[in-house]
Amino acid sequence: MGFFGKLFKGPEIDMEKSNANAKKMRQLFNQVVENGDTYQLIFGYTEDVAWFNYGFVHGSKTQIGNLIVGWNEETKTIVVVPTVPDLSGCGDPVYYRHSEILKAYRNKYPTDAFIIYPDKKAYIGINAYDWLEDEKLYVYVSQEKELAAFTEFFMNQYATK
Amino acid sequence: MLKEIGGIFVFLLVIVIFGNIWFHFIESILQKIKKIIHRHEKPPVWHPLPKEDTQQDEKDA
């Protein structure tokens, strides 16, 4: 392939790095979730947009929260584990059992996110993509098949409308 | 003419720099206030990736 071919091909995924991160995601998940191997995993993230007005300076700040998202088709449960882009650790898991949630649906605007309302007061919006290049903000992992499987599970078995 | 363009450029640059300094100044004050308010709250539990696994991954790489 010539220079221009490589130029127009776009960025290539480093599969070694992606596989190493997928392994780390599994280790972290299994460390905090009982019977973790019964869950399939994808990487997702939340976006928290806050508007500020400091006098003559005003605008918006976006905070990204990285997540390891696990789902079990038999129990219809989604488990969300907060983590960081380098996967050096993770927080406590949060369980969203289909029988206990208020509602779940896939948002279309402003982002194509998976929305879960555990109750009336709170919600979580999970964004997920095949691959995100920015390693400083997101976990570097290629997950085309996994995302397709999660989308199918969410739309056909988990969503409430 | 060039002097005027240069003057406008410098003026805009000063506004941008001052805006940035102002933003970070207010942010730092708000962070300190938040720390004072939440000082009695326990920090969220954090589970680090086991060190052996991390070292093994580095060796593999």
Q: How many domains does chain A have?
A: 1
CB-CB neighbors (< 8 A) of B23 in chain A: 54, 57
Q: A72 CA to chain B: closest CA distance, Å?
A: 22
Mean pLDDT, range A139-161, rounded to an integer: 93
Q: Is residue A51 part of a domain?
A: yes
Residue B47, classed as helix, strand or coil, is strand
In percent, the amount of chain A with pLDDT more than 90 equals 78
Enter the pTM of the model. 0.82
Q: What is the pLDDT of residue B41?
A: 87
Q: What is the pLDDT of residue B50?
A: 84
Q: Is residue A44 part of a domain?
A: yes
CB-CB neighbors (< 8 A) of A16 in chain B: 61
CA pair distance A27, A36, nearest whole angstrom: 9
The string of pLDDT tens digits covering residues B22-48 is 999 999 999 999 999 988 888 889 999
Tell me whether residues B49 and A27 touch, CB distance under 8 A: yes
Q: Is residue A144 part of a domain?
A: yes
Q: B2 CA to chain A: closest CA distance, Å?
A: 29
Q: What is the pLDDT of residue A112?
A: 83
Which of B45, B49, B61 is facing A87, going by the closest CB pair?
B49
The residue that leads in pLDDT, A144 or A6, is A144
Q: What is the CATH number of the domain that holds A53?
A: 2.30.29
The string of pLDDT tens digits covering residues B9-20 is 999 999 999 999
Residue-range definition of the domain harbouring residue A78: 13-158
Whether residue A4 has pLDDT greater than 70: no
Exposure b/e, A51-72, CB count within 10 A at least 16 = b: eeeeeebeeeeeeebbbbbbbb
Nearest to A48 by CA among A35, A62, A27, A31: A62
CA pair distance A72, B35, nearest whole angstrom: 38
Chain-centroid distance of CA A74 in Å reads 21
H, E, C per residue of chain A: CCHHHHHHHCCCCCHHHHHHHHHHHHHHHHHHCCCHHHCEEEEEEEEEEEEEEECCEEEEEEEEEEEEEEEECCCCEEEEEEECCCCCEECCCEEEECCCCCEEEECCCCCCCEEEECCCCCCEEEECCCCCCCCCCCCCCCCHHHHHHHHHHHHHHHCCC
Q: Is residue A74 part of a domain?
A: yes
Q: What is the pLDDT of residue B57?
A: 57
Q: A156 CA to chain B: closest CA distance, Å?
A: 33
Q: What is the pLDDT of residue A22?
A: 95
Q: What is the pLDDT of residue A13?
A: 83
Tell me whether residues B57 and A24 touch, CB distance under 8 A: yes
Residue A2 buriedness (CB in 10 A; 0-12 / 13-18 / 19+)? exposed
A-B Cβ pairs (cutoff 8 Å, strict): 44
Residue A5 banded pLDDT, cuts 50, 70, 90:
low
Residue A56 banded pLDDT, cuts 50, 70, 90:
confident
Q: Is B1 on the interface with A (CB under 8 A)?
A: no
Residue A67 banded pLDDT, cuts 50, 70, 90:
very high
- State whether ipTM is beyond 0.90: no
